[in-house]
């Protein structure tokens, strides 16, 4: 927080700030009040639109949808981490042809929209006789896209380490593989962990794209329950509930990233390197 | 090649819609995101809280969910009718602005303290310092991440395909109605995006060179 931009407010500025705060609260309150009014006026807060939450069947289905989201997330995360590690190693290889192939693959999958990747597997597969279930298409897409981004994160982490680290290891007579696995990777992973986790937040949000290839995850279920006439088509309540679940999940992961970052700052064993600003990963797709 | 040539009437207009969707949302998100960043560094705590709440909420919501809300739920509130295209622009802008805000804010932090101090010493107010001294320098220093955000935005426009907007991501649906090979069709769509992303990367590189601040 840069408070260089303004002085410690004097009495006059304080009065002005207070006036602006009141005005700001009024504006925000007016907007919120109008939205709530529209919600009430269009009957979104009537008991009928919310009572679906009380049915045991709905709760079980909701839990299953959550599990489906988490399943896609867990599979995608593990595979993307493996994919990322392999191609980061490929991009750092001493063999030009291996570097070339790895660079091509990573750049290729980063440039294609994730949804198009999922479409390719789900709708394009049958054209060559391969019919994949939605989950496989979703996980494959998540793996290739996020794995490519993670490969860049790993590579940036290793390249950001001071040169002396590998030089010293070579001077001790270590082989290339030893330098990598014993010296560079442990340090790089530790310093890149917060970035890696925020990429996993992106991956978690990206699972919602599964909705568009008929994978029955949380958002798919929200849409389904929202179209049920028996409950008065509660699409507004159901999206609110699902949004709350997604936000809670993402904030949990973010909290983990922050916790790790804080612990690292205390930990003297940790080598402080400048983490390159890899902002594209933090925006991700969905 | 046949799939592309036989369906040029799809690829042309649909990719054009993608580009329009991208350009309008990009300009809107840059403006709204910068405004949010202004809120987040403002001296009034209430403004900061509003900015933080917005960014936290939107950054942790899947973009597809924002689309679902705007396209299926929002019309029930009967506020203002939006066409599918406008709804897509609004969804993309609301979502991308939260990320642009954070990039601009990190840019503000890179501006040397002395710049703002000197401006304050000259008696400039918060608005003047931010608008005339700090932001112009901040934006220049965050050109690369800003462009990465815009590249992500470009790729995100495909999600509109699931919500009745006839853009590049929707080409597949029309191909399947015409009975064409969807795999080949999608590969052409992918190639189109690779080209568009490459163009944006080129712009990024040239802006970086031209706009880098000499410090």
CA distance A171 to A86: 26
The pLDDT value given to residue A284: 46
- Residue A190 to chain B, least CA–CA distance (Å): 23
B window 3-32, beta carbon within 8 A of A: none
pLDDT above 90 (res B95): yes
- Asked whether residue A155 is domain-assigned, the answer is yes
Residues A17 and A143 in one domain: no
The pLDDT value given to residue A281: 41
- Asked whether residue A114 is domain-assigned, the answer is yes
What does each of the 286 residues of chain A score in pLDDT, given as a tens digit?
A: 446 677 777 888 888 888 888 888 899 899 888 888 888 887 777 777 777 777 788 888 888 888 999 999 999 999 999 999 899 889 888 888 999 999 999 988 988 999 988 888 888 877 777 888 889 899 999 999 999 999 988 888 888 888 888 899 999 998 888 888 888 888 888 888 888 888 898 899 999 888 888 888 888 888 888 777 777 778 888 888 899 999 999 999 888 888 887 887 776 665 555 555 444 444 444 4
Residues A36 and A53 in one domain: no
- Asked whether residue A3 is domain-assigned, the answer is no
At residue A17, φ and ψ (nearest 5 deg) are -60, -40
Number of separate domains in chain A: 2
A-interface mutation test, from B37, B39, B41, B43, most A Cβ less than 10 A away = B43
Chain B residues in contact with A279 by the CB 8 A cut-off are 99, 103, 145, 148-149
For residue A266, give the CATH number of its domain. Answer: 1.10.3720.10
Tell me: the pLDDT tens digits for B134-189? 888 888 888 888 888 899 899 899 888 888 787 877 787 777 777 777 788 888 88
Residues A96 and A192 in one domain: yes
The pLDDT value given to residue B91: 92
Residues A38 and A163 in one domain: no
- Asked whether residue A57 is domain-assigned, the answer is yes
Residues A191 and A223 in one domain: yes
Residues A114 and A185 in one domain: yes
- CA closest to A121 among chain B residues: B183
pTM for this predicted structure? 0.86
Give the one of A6, A112, A286 whose C-beta lies nearest to B190's C-beta.
A112
Residues A202 and A272 in one domain: yes
| Domain of residue A167, residue span | 47-276
How many other β-carbons are positioned within 10 Å of the β-carbon of residue A10? 9
* Closest C-alpha among B198, B41, B208 to residue B109: B41
Give the one of B68, B129, B145 whose C-beta lies nearest to A223's C-beta.
B68
**CB proximity B181 to A under 8 Å:** yes
CB contact under 8 A, B60 and A246: yes
CB B105 within 8 A of CB B41: yes
CA distance B174 to B186: 11
A51 burial via Cβ count (<10 Å: 0-12, 13-18, 19+): middle
Residues A225 and A139 in one domain: yes
Residues A137 and A189 in one domain: yes
Torsion of CA A195, A196, A198, A204, to 10 degrees: 170
Q: Looking at domain B8-211, does it have CATH number 3.40.50.620?
A: no
Residues A25 and A160 in one domain: no
């Amino acid at each position: 927080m840069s408070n260089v931009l303004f002085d410690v407010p004097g009495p006059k500025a304080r009065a002005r700030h207070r006036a602006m705060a009141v005005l700001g609260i009024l504006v925000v309150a007016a907007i919120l009040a109008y939205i709530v009014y529209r919600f009430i006026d269009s009957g979104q807060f009537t008991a009928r639109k919310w009572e679906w939450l009380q049915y045991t069947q709905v709760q079980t289905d909701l839990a299953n949808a959550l599990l489906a989201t988490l399943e896609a997330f867990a599979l995608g995360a593990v595979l993307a981490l493996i994919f990322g590690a392999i191609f980061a190693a490929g991009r750092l290889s001493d063999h030009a042809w291996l570097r070339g192939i790895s660079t091509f693959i990573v750049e290729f999958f980063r440039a294609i929209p994730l949804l198009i990747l999922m479409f390719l597997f789900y709708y394009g597969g049958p054209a060559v006789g391969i019919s994949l279930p939605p989950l496989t298409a979703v996980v494959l897409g998540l793996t290739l896209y996020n794995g490519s981004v993670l490969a860049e994160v790993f590579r940036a982490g290793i390249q950001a380490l001071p040169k002396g680290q590998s030089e010293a290891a070579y001077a001790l007579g270590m082989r290339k593989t030893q330098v990598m696995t014993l010296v560079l990777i442990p340090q790089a992973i530790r310093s890149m962990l917060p970035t890696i986790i925020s990429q996993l937040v992106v991956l978690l949000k990206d699972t919602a794209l599964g909705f568009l290839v008929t994978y029955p995850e949380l958002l798919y279920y929200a849409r389904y329950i929202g179209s049920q006439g028996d409950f008065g088509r509660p699409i507004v309540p159901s999206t609110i509930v699902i949004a709350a679940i997604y936000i809670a999940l993402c904030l949990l992961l973010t909290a983990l990233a922050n916790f790790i970052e804080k612990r690292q700052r205390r930990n003297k064993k940790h080598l402080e390197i400048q983490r390159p600003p890899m902002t594209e990963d933090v925006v991700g797709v969905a | 090649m046949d799939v592309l040539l036989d369906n040029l009437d799809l690829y042309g207009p649909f990719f054009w819609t993608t580009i329009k969707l991208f350009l309008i949302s990009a300009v809107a998100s840059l403006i709204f995101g910068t405004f949010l960043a202004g809120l987040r560094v403002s001296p009034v705590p209430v403004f900061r809280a509003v900015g933080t709440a917005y960014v936290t909420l939107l950054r942790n919501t899947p973009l597809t969910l924002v689309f679902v809300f705007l396209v299926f739920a929002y019309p029930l509130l009967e506020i203002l009718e939006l066409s599918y295209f406008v709804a897509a622009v609004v969804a993309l802008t609301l979502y991308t602005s939260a990320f642009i805000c954070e990039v601009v804010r990190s840019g503000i932090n890179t501006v040397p303290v002395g710049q703002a101090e000197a401006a304050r010493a000259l008696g400039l107010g918060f608005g003047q310092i931010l608008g005339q001294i700090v932001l112009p320098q901040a934006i220049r220093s965050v050109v690369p991440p800003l462009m990465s955000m815009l590249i992500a935005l470009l790729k995100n426009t495909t999600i509109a395909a699931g919500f009745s907007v006839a853009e590049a991501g929707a080409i597949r649906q029309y191909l399947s109605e015409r009975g064409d090979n969807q795999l080949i069709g999608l590969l052409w769509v992918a190639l189109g995006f690779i080209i568009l992303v490459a163009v944006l990367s080129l712009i990024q590189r040239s802006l970086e060179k031209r706009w880098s601040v000499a410090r």
